[in-house]
Structure 1
Amino acid sequence: MISADRKFHAYLDEMNIITILLPFSYHNGISSTFYMTTDAEKIPLQILTKIDIEHNHKYVCQFEGDILFGRQYWIIDEHGGKTDLQIGAVIRTDSFDEKFYYDGNDLGVTFHADQTRFKLWAPTATGVKLKLRPPAGQFSEIIKMRREARGVWSVSVNRDVEAYQYSFLVLVNQEWHEAVDPYVKAVSAGGENGVIVKLEKTYRPRPDLSPLDNPVDAIIYETHIRDFSIHKNSGIQNKGLYLGAGELNTKGKDGETTGLSYIKDLGVTHIEYLPFHDFAGVDELHPNKDYNWGYNPLHFNAPEGSYATDPTNPYSRIIELKKLIDQIHSIGLRVIMDVVYNHVFIRENSSFEKVVPGYYFRHNEIGLPSNGTGVGNDIASERRMVRKYIVDSVRYWIEEYHIDGFRFDLMGILDVETMIEVRKACDNIKKGTLIIGEGWSLNTPLSADQKATIVNQAKIPQIAQFNDKFRDIIKGSTFNLFDKGYALGNEHNLDAVMEVITGSIGLAKRGNRLFNEPSQSVNYVECHDNHTLWDKLLACFPNEDLGIRIRYHRLATGIVLLSQGIPFLHSGQEFFRTKHGEGNSYRSPDAINQLDWDRKSQFKDNVEYIKGLIKIRKAFPCFRMRTSEEIRTHLCPLSFTSSTLGCLFKMNHEEVILMINPSKNKQFTTLPSGEWSVLANHEHAGISSKVVLQGGENTMEPISLNVLLKK
């Protein structure tokens, strides 16, 4: 409890520095001496500075010797006033990090023979207790924990406590807080308590999938577990659930394939799911009442319960998520997990803040929590135990759930060293693990050279980043709905267009490069954020006929699939997904967010066209060159008139031409001599040709992408 006679405040801000605030209302805020006491020890404080600050005198004091963390200290002034020494900014010092870094792999719950061991890293706590509640019990058992080295608290329970709920009671700064274990792997409904589970009961063997040779061989398809199956005509039984997302051989009302089997047939390599670690925003007991994308993280190592058949059974969500991942692997596809390590839902309520207040989050120059994420808090990944937590979590998802890749939400909030450690951990467990992230530079108190941003891509070369330059040049500005990019008929800045479709590696001028290698560029024109491409087209071309909008959409998506780098598709993009004009649907109802499988039937021709482009990308290595040197060696820009762009690829004894005409007019082009099989034009795409062109002058249809193979 808080000291009842607290007249002033004292904070440990460095290992040997204490800041004391005496209000003017208390002896005019004046004291000539202070000392610190604990048990029978009395330590004098040397006043270094005294300044006025908001109705207080602020005293900065120094002492000799070491603070023993875990012990309660008191500060006494010359008037005999007494207050508890609170843990202040010391937790954000390098010396604190060095003193309390714990490199063990046993935080949380571990099992040893006939005992269950609980460990919690809480170096600033003066007391920690374990709270245990039997599965059907009304009353909890409270067990004192023992402080060990490096600020770890531990206790062992010598009996079977499977399915017990548990939490930790932590005393910091004279206040008790109840916290869910930060390392918790299973939770009760709503994530209110941790639950002890035996993961061996959920074991599934690791799949035998050979790693991709290079990230550019990936084709990513982003979706949301609920969106994917909730539509009335999805043909999926377990709508909105893990099990539904994993159903095979489902059919729509037209009798054609839907669901996971459809994704396999489309030809992509990776399914990326929006967050499925435990999040706030959906009532797990009434999951159809609310909707949320999942960017409100609660527990990073436990699956979300609203996608489980029984959210009250902690095994349900674990087993069903593993089954989903297993089903995806069984058909040769891979899983990318969207992870949100950059912030938590509500800082004050998070386990991090309750267990070690102030440590896990960044603070600005005046000591307030920073907000580069825009949601009220920024994770301080540069601190050693925060970095360890993120790396431990990534390692856990790979080892326990067999995840094949990670998409780091707002990766620019995190620091470069953390992402390097994540990359190393992934490589040590599973070669070929794909890591992609949003490298936006955000206003968080971390030096620019430390941020995991696009600007610092050379420091994290094995991590790919979403290429917003590609997005805005090809589609038009995401933040201006009516701005048109190259694929929507904007015929300006052709040099920039050529640059992004050739991997953003500085093809013409190396100094203009965004990335050193094409494998660092995730190319996209649509994702879960902002308006869908179809909705942007409806806004930009309200009076155009359907056919013109289809052509623009087909062109933009085709450029994504045939550019150098890693192509990224938003689910339903291949059948013109619409959110009915909603630009930010993070909690909009199913009617807005659902994947409308009827549109797949309606726009079957376009689905087949996209399938054809994917086949072309896979069949011809020239569309997925590994290095910038390869691109410079094997790609030759072609000179055309007006807005038309072209590239000639000479590779593996093959010659391939990619030509793009975004204008509404036919364009005359001159082809190199020889016979050219048309693999893709405005109507057809695939690895077989229906048309052959002769070298020399030819006509290119309006708003079209063309792939030609020399016979």
Structure 2
Amino acid sequence: MFVHYESSDSDMISLLSSRMNFWGYSTINFFSPMTRYSSAGTRNCGRDAINEFKLLVREAHKRGIEVFMDVVFNHTAEGNEKGPILSFRGLDNSVYYMVAPKGEFYNYSGCGNTFNCNHPVVRQFIVDCLRYWVLEMHVDGFRFDLASIMTRGSSLCDAANVFGSPMEGDLLTTGTPLGSPPLIDMISNDPVLRDVKLIAEAWDAGGLYQVGTFPHWCIWSEWNGKYRDVVRQFIKGTDGFSGAFAECLCGSPNLYQAGGRKPWNSINFVCAHDGFSLADLVTYTNKHNLANGENNNDGENHNNSWNCGQEGEFASIFVKKLRKRQMRNFFLCLMVSQFVQQETRRLEVCHCG
């Protein structure tokens, strides 16, 4: 799964060391692939990097492998209202971002700004971008990072269209969740995009959680975050999760049976590209991110993990054997669950790399 061209700068990390922000996810150019994935000979030549990406997709298709883009339309690398002018801020700040009356940015992304996805100009930009990746680069689908931001209203909206509970007391505010978001409607009915695979990370950093309720037009799949949480709780032995675990094994019908969707609309996963790896789940009960320079504030606090009796990598032989058994249990659960399993390399090898 590939991402847009993004900034590898991180103020906190660059001040502390020479390490690069490996994480990324701070988009600069939505129409360009991340050159870090290209061969050394093409990294400084955009056209060659694009051609190399097309070659990769073509060769993958020859082998029956589909290629997905991990797209980040919830924020950009320009940061909060005090951030640098790199692109959209200089074009029209109030069009491309959700801006509060006093000029500060709404921050539903957790990254300082929120892309104004349902503004007419912005949603057309997003659709044009997605069509480019399908028609020109021939990708087979998209995973939308923090996709719930794409359901938030760009300005005052009709209360009858409100979906769920808004984040502010006033129903008619910027960022109100919509029942029929114009952007999701456009994507779902576009003659090109409706035929590719669409996967929503159905939550955002502003507290909106739509797993099982994301506006879907019967074609969107979802990262099943509830599957992840239930399986982690069950495997570590938390009481009261046997019924929920059984539903997870059966494709989460409690979430996807209504509204015309099927079990394959659930993307089941235990670990992903972010958060704890499989090894972390059985090694740490608490996160340890102090080296990132953010006082351990970054990353999820509720990982439903268990260290098997000893915190950290150095442990007794008994604990290490138990950890290996637990990792196999996680993998088995994923393999026997209906319907779509998401595996990452960090799941296959139990850690990053």
TM-score normalised to the size of structure 1? Answer: 0.37
Match of 1:302 among 5, 23, 32: 32
5+ residue gaps in structure 1? 1-271, 476-484, 578-592, 596-711
Of Structure 1 and Structure 2, which has the larger fraction of its residues in helix? 2
Pairing 1:571–2:345 present: yes
Cα pair distance change 1:393/1:378, threshold 3 Å: same
Number of aligned residues: 282
Cα pair distance change 1:430/1:441, threshold 3 Å: closer
Give the whole-Å Cα distance in 2 for the aligned partners of 1:505 and 1:462.
Answer: 16
* Equivalent residue letter for 2:186: E
Structure 2 residue aligned with 1:530:
275
Secondary structure class of the residue paired with 2:5: strand
Match of 1:470 among 227, 234, 256: 227
Structure 1 residue aligned with 2:7:
280
* Equivalent residue letter for 2:32: A
Let me know the Cα RMSD of the aligned residues.
Answer: 2.8
Give the whole-Å Cα distance in 2 for the aligned partners of 1:358 and 1:420.
Answer: 23
* Equivalent residue letter for 1:278: Y
Give the whole-Å Cα distance in 1 for the aligned partners of 2:204 and 2:109.
Answer: 10
Within-5 A mapping of 1:575-614: 575-577=349-351, 593=352, 595=353
Give the whole-Å Cα distance in 2 for the aligned partners of 1:565 and 1:417.
Answer: 29
Secondary structure class of the residue paired with 1:319: helix
Deviation at 1:517, TM superposition (A): 3.0
CA deviations on 1:224-244 (whole Å, 9 max, x unpaired) are xxxxxxxxxxxxxxxxxxxxx
Cα pair distance change 1:430/1:343, threshold 3 Å: closer
> Who wins on radius of gyration, i.e. which is larger?
1
CA deviations on 1:416-465 (whole Å, 9 max, x unpaired) are 3312322333xx23775211121115439xxx7xxx93363354431111
Structure 1 residue aligned with 2:197:
434
5+ residue gaps in structure 2? 11-17, 152-180, 285-306, 311-315
Deviation at 1:365, TM superposition (A): 5.1
Deviation at 1:364, TM superposition (A): 2.9
Q: Is the 8 A contact 1:441 1:453 kept in 2?
A: no
Match of 1:417 among 142, 163, 182: 182
Structure 2 residue aligned with 1:599:
none
Cα pair distance change 1:516/1:326, threshold 3 Å: closer
Q: Is the 8 A contact 1:505 1:514 kept in 2?
A: no
Give the whole-Å Cα distance in 2 for the aligned partners of 1:429 and 1:460.
Answer: 15
Cα pair distance change 1:396/1:420, threshold 3 Å: same
Within-5 A mapping of 1:175-324: 272-273=1-2, 275=3, 277-281=4-8, 290-308=20-38, 309-324=41-56
Structure 2 residue aligned with 1:375:
111
Structure 2 residue aligned with 1:335:
67
Cα pair distance change 1:302/1:575, threshold 3 Å: closer
* Equivalent residue letter for 2:95: Y
Q: Is the 8 A contact 2:5 2:33 kept in 1?
A: yes
Within-5 A mapping of 1:344-359: 344-347=76-79, 348-359=84-95
TM-score normalised to the size of structure 2? Answer: 0.72
CA deviations on 1:449-507 (whole Å, 9 max, x unpaired) are xxx933633544311111111111111xxxxxxxxx21233353211111222222229
Give the percent of matched residue pairs that are identical in Structure 1 and Structure 2: 26
Deviation at 1:366, TM superposition (A): 4.3
Give the whole-Å Cα distance in 2 for the aligned partners of 1:377 and 1:410.
Answer: 13
Give the whole-Å Cα distance in 1 for the aligned partners of 2:212 and 2:93.
Answer: 32
Which shifted more, 375-384 or 557-566?
Answer: 557-566
* Equivalent residue letter for 2:346: G
Cα pair distance change 1:502/1:310, threshold 3 Å: same
Structure 1 residue aligned with 2:163:
none
* Equivalent residue letter for 2:229: D
Pairing 1:386–2:122 present: yes
Give the whole-Å Cα distance in 2 for the aligned partners of 1:456 and 1:530.
Answer: 23
Deviation at 1:520, TM superposition (A): 2.4
Give the whole-Å Cα distance in 2 for the aligned partners of 1:305 and 1:552.
Answer: 37
Q: Is the 8 A contact 2:130 2:193 kept in 1?
A: no
Give the whole-Å Cα distance in 1 for the aligned partners of 2:216 and 2:280.
Answer: 37
Of Structure 1 and Structure 2, which has the larger fraction of its residues in strand? 1
Give the whole-Å Cα distance in 2 for the aligned partners of 1:431 and 1:515.
Answer: 16
Secondary structure class of the residue paired with 2:238: coil
Pairing 1:405–2:155 present: no
CA deviations on 1:663-711 (whole Å, 9 max, x unpaired) are xxxxxxxxxxxxxxxxxxxxxxxxxxxxxxxxxxxxxxxxxxxxxxxxx
Give the whole-Å Cα distance in 1 for the aligned partners of 2:259 and 2:271.
Answer: 20
Give the whole-Å Cα distance in 1 for the aligned partners of 2:89 and 2:216.
Answer: 31
Give the whole-Å Cα distance in 2 for the aligned partners of 1:405 and 1:375.
Answer: 25
Q: Is the 8 A contact 1:411 1:453 kept in 2?
A: no
